[in-house]
Amino acid sequence: MQITGHEINRIVLKRGEIASRVKELATRISLDYQDKDLVLIGVLKGAVFFVADLIREISIPLTIDFISISSYGQDTDTAGVVKLTKDLEEDIKGRHIIIVEDFVDTGITLSYLIEILRLRQPASIEVCALISKTGNRKSDIPLDYYGFELGQEYLVGYGMDYNEDYRNLPYIAALEPGKQKTT
């Protein structure tokens, strides 16, 4: 398959596989957070599809908010320089929050985000990631909920992008080697 001049190497996760796992995660969250003041915090832009599908499956009341952070480094690696580009609108003090990410790779950016949010005194902070990438973790971030554990392929689709392309794919695919982002 070719989209905007780049080739998809293979489909890693089909739409049905993703939907099934999202439903399982939502069921666990619904049980774990019964009778708690829950705020889901989606990390823009990649987690938008995951957040939307997840909240439709969660069966308890919740509040949703979004935050955006950028990490700057060489090539596709995070150098540890992180900048908050969109802050929360909700007050999270005393509330239970779950940070919702599309994927966690090194954990550096997520570690920074957790520290920022911890200063706001929530009752608890947990993390829900659709994908936990293995083998490159530099920060010991516990993933309380995750959908799939995958390797280091460059993934696109279901919110994940290559230069802002591919986010709209209803599945998750690996880009052909050599097509990864270089800036």
CA atoms within 13 A on the CB side of 155: 25
Would 102 be classed as within a structural domain? yes
Furthest CA-CA distance within the chain = 49
- Report yes or no on 183 lying in a domain: no
Instruction: Look at residue 170 and tell me if it is in a domain.
Output: yes
Q: How many structural domains comprise the chain?
A: 1
Q: Which of 104, 112, 98 lies closest to 147 in space, CA to CA?
A: 104
d(CA 28, CA 96): 15
Burial class (CB in 10 A: 0-12, 13-18, 19+), 4: exposed
Q: How far is CA 167 from CA 13, 40, 46, 105, 164, in A?
A: 14, 21, 8, 18, 7
Contacts by residues 80-88 (CB-CB < 8 Å, ≥ 24 positions apart): 80/108, 82/108, 82/109, 82/112, 82/113, 84/116, 86/44, 88/41
User: Please, what are the averages of pLDDT over each run of 10 residues along the chain (183 residues)?
Assistant: 64 97 98 98 96 98 95 53 90 98 90 95 98 82 93 92 92 78 41
Q: What is the reported pLDDT for 51?
A: 98
**Residue 181 lies inside a defined structural domain of this protein:** no
Identify the pLDDT of residue 182: 41
Q: Are 173 and 11 in contact (CB under 8 A)?
A: yes
Q: Which domain holds residue 30?
A: 2-175
Report the DSSP pairing between strands 6-13 and 38-44.
unpaired
Q: 15-32 vs 48-57: helix axis angle to the nearest 10?
A: 60
Residue of 75, 105, 140, 161 marked catalytic: 105
Q: Clarify whether 165 is annotated catalytic.
A: no
Assigned token pair, 160: 């994940």
C-alpha neighbours within 13 Å on the C-beta side of residue 97: 27
Residue 158 lies in a domain: yes
Identify whether 182 is part of a domain. Answer: no
CATH of residue 146 = 3.40.50.2020
Q: Is residue 72 part of a domain?
A: yes
Residue 29 lies in a domain: yes
Question: In this structure, are residues 137 and 106 in contact, taking their beta carbons and an 8 Å threshold?
Answer: yes
